[in-house]
Chains A and B, each alone.
Chain A
Amino acid sequence: MTSYLHDPALWGLIAGTPVAATAIAMGRKTNAKLRAALAEQSARRASLEAGREQIVDEAMRRAEEGTKSVLKAAMRTLQGLAGEQQVAIAKLQRENGEHAALKGLLDVDHGNAQFTRRAQSIAVLCDGWLGRRKNAASVYDVVRSAKGRIRHFTRVEIRSQSNFAVVSRAVEPVALALSELLDNATSYSAPETSIEINIQPVPKGVCIVVDDAGVGMSDEEKTLAGDLLTGRVTPGVSGLGNPPQFGFAVIGVLATRYGFSVSVDSTSPYGGVRAVLLLPDELLTTTIEPEETPAVGDESEPVAAETEPEPPVQATTFGGLPKRRRFRHPISIVPTAEDRAEERAAPAPEPVRDSVEAASRMGAFQRGTLSGRRSVNGVGGNGTRGGNGISGINGVDSVNASSEGQDAQ
């Protein structure tokens, strides 16, 4: 045992143990410290990273908002200018209606309408101003307005009309949304094919169905379009891609905002896309001015009644010459409402031509001829008009007859 006492290694061990113990303890301490530091650092890093994301989001949001407000203001100016220009063009069109310049003016008008649509679409994506109409408009007119806002509008055929009208606040949004659908339809189909529009009343409102004969859409495209159209995805101005795809994004915003719906997930009978815009009852009203748009049959009926029975009676003149058929009304008189009411109220006596009436007609003819002969320079014929009081028909005939009398002079 004592021999070990002299062994320097033992003393070395004895001396080294506490040192080692101390060293180990110190090492452990440092380790713990380092771990704590590491934990602290990683926590800090995490918070910084979160902050960074927040800042980036915030920066992007601000950039988007900045872009939006700049574009919104810019578009407002452009829309205003386009509106002024349209007023000027409309005035020029009326003033130069009979000149060859009209063709050019119509083209300029068309260009201006497309320009307005672009500005409006951008404005919609920037939560901006669209402009509203004061009056409700028939669905047919809204569809035609939409048609006029795209380049190849002559390819669009509107197959049906409807008695419904769109409420004033929805006129512009619906026309704009529909014009974007038509723009897509014309862009993705061959130039010689036509785009068909049908207006169909449905239990929930009115459907405007747009069928193209284009290439159609893949399932992936349909899903993406569905997301945009229902407003589930709102790409904003910066998410439109390059070249920017406005159409569905604009329609989605408008549909959400005004409460109509658009779907493009069905296939048209021609293999292209069938787009359906559903206007709910809330956006519809009955047609605004029903007296302005009666059916054709309404007015052709009295016309037919008054002219059809005439040929057998007036087939020839006294001299056996073929007689010109006349219209009952004087030249260049626009019928008033009362005239038309009278016509409708008493159409029955006309087809019956009894001897008294025939005699009065002959009398009128004779009087007209006589007065025509009396008058020197052809203005005296009117005098007979007041003198013949049997009916409007005869009065008119006497005027015509008197002019005939002058011809014979």
Chain B
Amino acid sequence: MTDEPELELEATELVRPYVITNGRELPGDNTFTMITLVAVSDEAPRARVLDPEKLRVMELCAGGFLAVAEIAAHTGLPMGVVKILLSDLVEDGYLLARAPVPRAQLVERELLEEVLHGLRARFG
């Protein structure tokens, strides 16, 4: 254009996150947390063409259940944006979401000791 050198615009992505979400509101906080797990649904429809970002998510999830936070890390997209994509994909039947597996509740030490004592008293 002119004799001046053109500066390169490399620092940010060409397609901005608000375009990827198409201006959609963030889904309600209870739908997806950072550790909600998602996986490709058996009944995933095939006909429609997906956005490149959604395809990438589908690719990531093809291997099994993956946490929302991991998808965000792999795609480099903000967490909220990933949540919007996921809620779209779940709504359209491409993905299944399930709540994280709850941590096993450890039984109190006293109780175990009491049982042990009881067993020893009975059989020991």
Contacts and interface: CB of A to CB of B under 8 A. Distances in A.
B106 A377 contact: yes
Contacts of A188: none
A2 interface: no
Given A141-B14, A144-B15, A292-B52, A93 B62 contact: no
Given A130-B1, A161-B49, A297-B46, A145 B6 contact: no
Contacts of A129: 1-2, 4, 6-7
Contacts of B40: 299-300, 303
A98 B6 contact: no
A172 B64 contact: no
Nearest to A157: B22
Interface in B58-94: 58-60, 62-67, 70, 72, 74, 76-82
Nearest to A311: B42
B9 A329 contact: no
What's the dominant secondary structure at chain A's contact region? helix
A334 B65 contact: no
Interface stretch (A13-21, A24-32, A103-111, A220-228): A103-111
Given A153-B23, A161-B49, A171-B14, A304 B9 contact: no
Contacts of B66: 332, 334
Given A109-B17, A328-B64, A131 B55 contact: no
Interface stretch (A82-90, A201-209, A315-323): A82-90
A233 B70 CA distance: 54
Contacts of A145: 14-16, 19
Interface in A359-396: 377-378
A304 B44 CA distance: 9
A330 B4 contact: no
Given A97-B81, A133-B14, A304-B42, A299 B49 contact: no
Q: What class of interface size applies to chain B in its complex with A?
A: 35 or more
B30 interface: no
B18 interface: yes
B25 interface: yes
A161 B15 CA distance: 15
A58 interface: no
B57 to A, nearest CB: 11
Contact of A106 (B7, B18, B76, B79): B18
B56 A94 contact: no
Interface of B: 1-2, 4, 6-23, 25-26, 34, 37, 39-40, 42, 44, 46, 48-50, 52, 55-56, 58-60, 62-67, 70, 72, 74, 76-82, 104, 106
What are the 8 tightest A-B residue pairs by CB atom distance, in nearest-first order?
A329-B64, A97-B79, A97-B78, A335-B63, A148-B19, A102-B80, A98-B79, A106-B18
25 contacts: A80-B7, A83-B9, A94-B78, A96-B78, A98-B79, A102-B78, A103-B25, A107-B18, A128-B1, A129-B1, A129-B7, A130-B6, A133-B9, A133-B14, A134-B10, A145-B14, A148-B15, A160-B49, A172-B9, A296-B58, A299-B58, A300-B62, A307-B42, A332-B66, A332-B70
